[in-house]
Chain A
């Protein structure tokens, strides 16, 4: 399943790249992209564990850029 989320206060492009890398490393994530330009994040992950994976995604993003909020 592929889903797009809005990001609030994503302030730096380098952080976006770091977030993207961190999300890709999460088990069950097939593809991920964080767009600094559109302030959006697209996550493609296993259907069955999607909610669980999203929790890890939020955690990973918080690590990189604590100010950035993911609108779930």
Chain B
């Protein structure tokens, strides 16, 4: 609790004690010396004591005073604020309303109610303040990846300095257990880094000399000497924190609605109260019935529960998402994501790994390993991604002396003599050129490399960009989370696209698209989708910035360390695990459902109490509950957001 909250707690305790004393003072006083025994044998005061006793005469004002003391102890600041705010022209604020309600109660002789309402109001306010600051702190703690210091070597000694003071090119030392304070390159040492705070990924990342390290990661084991490559203000950690902190600036529609609603709600209820106090009273003259009912209206008229709990829910959602390595740049995007109906994916690097690998080996009259070895040794001198993937699939160490007379035939493949055998490796055209009959023409998705040895066909390898292991599951989870349609866009060939789309179970795909075509495609999809649902585009953020900005929500993935991606997207997945996308959708849906619950619950209770008050069925206690109690419940509901997985 802050000092202010502690002070309030003391005031509440003291006022509560005084209030209890005031309640315990009997309503009438009986001067003991004048009591008589009546015929039933009981002590009773004389019937005329009120008229004769001076003390009894003063009793009414004393009684008022005994309640006025706790009332002022608990409510002086509310009275003061109300007076001050009226002076500033802020008439309809909650302080003023509480004052009118409680002073009204005092005026009609309901002393205990007046004090109790004020007391209850302050207890609620305190509770609300504590609950809000607690949840704020726990959200901030989730995102607390800010490093406190950096170890810099000065005059042969390690000193701790503020990360902001470290210049680009300086050498910093990161010990085991410490947070990497700035982005840089490892000069010396090796270690495992825990990137969970940034990516939500629990598997540590190994780094050694020459590798880049990113601020915000925790060094788990070894000592690292790091050369700083970016000033603190531009480091990953600062950028992420800025992003999340500024996210509340981009307000969701629900928030706009509530702010607007609050502007009309309070005056409307106040005028309704005025009408309720005056109009029926003029008709039947029973002011003592209608005025208290109207006072209830005033208590209920503060929109605080809504105004607090809705941004808090969004903030909790954004905080919870950031803990899992999902950065949401604004409440509005979280709100839109909850309505995601169409999800459009870029293929390469998003659904697939973005690199080639050998997916099938079909030898003819030789072992698989032998075919791979021949192809790998023939291709070992090339730096083409396809050649690399063959060498990687083979897994052996390239031995240059085993391959002689290596000749690259542009557009066809390679010819070499390996261990004395004449080997050809390349596409169909190469085989045709060399008059080598190809046994069967396979229609494989991806690139096919045919191999021939000593003039005889030896088999072929299929090389393709494999889907990520989690892609299929992510697509299933998206469907389960309520996404209606999944679409893939790619610049790749029809065959390759079809294979990936079929394997992953996408609803639709468009192949052979140029970057500009992708924008057109997204425009077309936007035009044909249901107007109430949103279109999400997921890409790697590197060369799809125009599409990211055209979609309702642009999601960039694998963004750790890529500034361009963080810049271009609305939602950023810090690593390249596609499963984070359904997780983000679930968080968004959960946030929105909590927001909806809070709006309905808070408005419902308020409306109910208003109706009951007008009918004379609800007292001021119910009204205070509808005001403060509902706020507290709404805050507690919003804080559930922190626990969403």
Contacts and interface: CB of A to CB of B under 8 A. Distances in A.
Interface of A: 9, 11-14, 17-18, 33, 35-40, 42, 63-64, 66
Interface of B: 4, 81, 84, 88-90, 94, 129, 136, 139-140, 245-246, 248-249, 259, 262, 302-304, 307-308, 311-312, 315
A33 B249 contact: yes
A39 B596 CA distance: 25
Secondary structure call for the A interface: mixed
Contacts, number: 50
B245 A12 contact: no
Given A17-B307, A36-B311, A42-B246, A66 B81 contact: yes
B304 A13 contact: yes
Nearest to B84: A66
A38 B248 contact: yes
Shortest beta-carbon contacts, A-B, top 10: A13-B308, A37-B315, A13-B307, A14-B307, A33-B249, A63-B88, A35-B248, A17-B259, A38-B245, A37-B248
A17 B262 contact: yes
A14 B304 contact: yes
17 contacts: A11-B129, A12-B94, A12-B308, A13-B307, A13-B308, A14-B302, A14-B303, A14-B304, A14-B307, A14-B308, A17-B262, A35-B245, A35-B249, A37-B315, A63-B90, A64-B90, A66-B81
A11 B129 CA distance: 7
Contact of B136 (A9, A14, A18, A37): A37
Given A14-B304, A37-B248, A63-B89, 15 more contacts: A11-B129, A12-B308, A13-B311, A14-B302, A17-B307, A33-B248, A35-B245, A35-B248, A36-B308, A37-B139, A38-B140, A38-B248, A63-B90, A64-B90, A66-B84
B304 A42 contact: no
A35 B89 CA distance: 23
Given A37-B315, A66-B81, A14 B248 contact: no
A38 B248 CA distance: 8
B4 A12 contact: no
B248 A12 contact: no
Given A37-B311, A37-B312, A66-B84, A14 B262 contact: yes
B249 A42 contact: yes
B259 A9 contact: no
A38 B304 CA distance: 18
A33 B245 CA distance: 12
Contacts of B136: 37-39
A66 B90 CA distance: 12
Contacts of A63: 88-90
Most chain B CB within 10 A, of A9, A17, A37, A64, is at A37
